[in-house]
């Protein structure tokens, strides 16, 4: 009898202990699985995926390769006629720049050659100790140079000769530069994608000479300025 009472007592205690425990359930307010309102809002915010920022790109001109554009044809044309290769490359704005620079160099050559010839004639008169007769070609110039000594006239002759030769070299260099420019532009169009971050600019300019090489022609001489821009 006592054994049965003990068994009933143990079963009753076990039942009470089972009811005393909180079941793990979302519907139970005390359950650890019960989500609060703040947790739900946080999960909702975290679930929203932010879109990556992509800047809008506009106004950039892209040059795509053109296999039909011939670099050989471009530089061959510029070799024979300055600016013809630039026209072939549709770089029309470069044509007046090229001809302006070449024209200035021709003017520079003719001026220095004329001055060199005149001063050389006066220097030869001084060297021989004679003078031109009235009515001769260099008579007026000889009279105008009476205030200059022989050394000054000889320096002027050498200066004009130097600038004359320099103008020839610059003319040849300008011709070569415009040929190379035509080839490079054509090569980019033929083989590469090139945007407006790269450009080549050729403009006429004045070069300031050093004091020890200046002469009657002035302190500045014309030249060409080539600018490569990479932004």
pLDDT tens, 179-216?
999 998 888 876 665 555 667 777 788 777 766 555 55
Reported residue count of the chain is 231
| Residue 198 DSSP SS3 | strand
> Per the domain annotation, does 201 fall within a domain?
no
Its domain, for residue 119, covers 66-193
Q: Is the pTM of this model over 0.85?
A: no
Whole-angstrom Cα distance, residue 74 to residue 182? 6
> Per the domain annotation, does 2 fall within a domain?
no
Residue 177 has pLDDT above 90, yes or no: yes
Token pair for residue 158?
């050498």
Residues 108/149, Cβ–Cβ less than 8 Å? no
> Per the domain annotation, does 32 fall within a domain?
no
Q: Which residues partner with 215 through β-bridges?
A: 218
pLDDT, greater one: 98 or 27:
98
Average pLDDT, the chain: 77
Closest CA to 126 of 99, 153, 108: 153
> Per the domain annotation, does 112 fall within a domain?
yes
Query: pLDDT class for 149, splitting at 50, 70, 90?
Result: very high
Residue 63 has pLDDT above 90, yes or no: no
> Per the domain annotation, does 127 fall within a domain?
yes
> Per the domain annotation, does 24 fall within a domain?
no
Residue 58 has pLDDT above 90, yes or no: no
pLDDT at position 35, please? Answer: 53
> Per the domain annotation, does 214 fall within a domain?
no
> Per the domain annotation, does 45 fall within a domain?
no
What percentage of the chain carries pLDDT values higher than 70? 61
The beta strand positions in 16-140, using DSSP E, are 62-63
Please state the domain count of the chain. Answer: 1
Whole-angstrom Cα distance, residue 205 to residue 220? 10
User: Quick one: 170 exposed, middle or buried, by C-beta within 10 A (0-12, 13-18, 19+)?
Assistant: buried
């Amino acid at each position: 009898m006592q054994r049965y009472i003990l068994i009933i007592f143990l079963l009753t205690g076990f039942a009470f202990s089972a009811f005393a425990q909180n079941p793990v359930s979302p519907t139970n307010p005390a359950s650890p699985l019960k989500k609060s309102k703040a947790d739900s809002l946080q999960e909702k915010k975290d679930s929203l995926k932010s879109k990556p920022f992509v800047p809008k790109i506009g106004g950039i001109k892209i040059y795509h390769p053109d296999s039909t554009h011939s670099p050989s044809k471009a530089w061959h044309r510029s070799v024979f006629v300055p600016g013809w290769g630039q026209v072939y490359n549709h770089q029309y704005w470069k044509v007046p720049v090229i001809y302006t620079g070449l024209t200035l160099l021709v003017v520079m050559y003719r001026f220095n050659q004329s001055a060199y010839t005149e001063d050389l004639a006066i220097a030869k008169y001084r060297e021989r100790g004679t003078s031109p007769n009235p009515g001769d070609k260099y008579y007026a110039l000889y009279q105008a140079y009476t205030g200059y000594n022989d050394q000054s006239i000889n320096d002027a002759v050498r200066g004009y000769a130097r600038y004359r030769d320099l103008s020839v070299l610059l003319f040849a260099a300008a011709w070569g530069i415009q040929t190379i420019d035509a080839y490079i532009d054509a090569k980019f169009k033929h083989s590469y994608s090139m945007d407006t971050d790269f450009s080549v600019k050729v403009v006429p300019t004045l070069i300031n000479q050093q004091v020890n090489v200046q002469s009657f022609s002035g302190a500045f001489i014309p030249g060409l300025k080539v600018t490569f821009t990479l932004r």
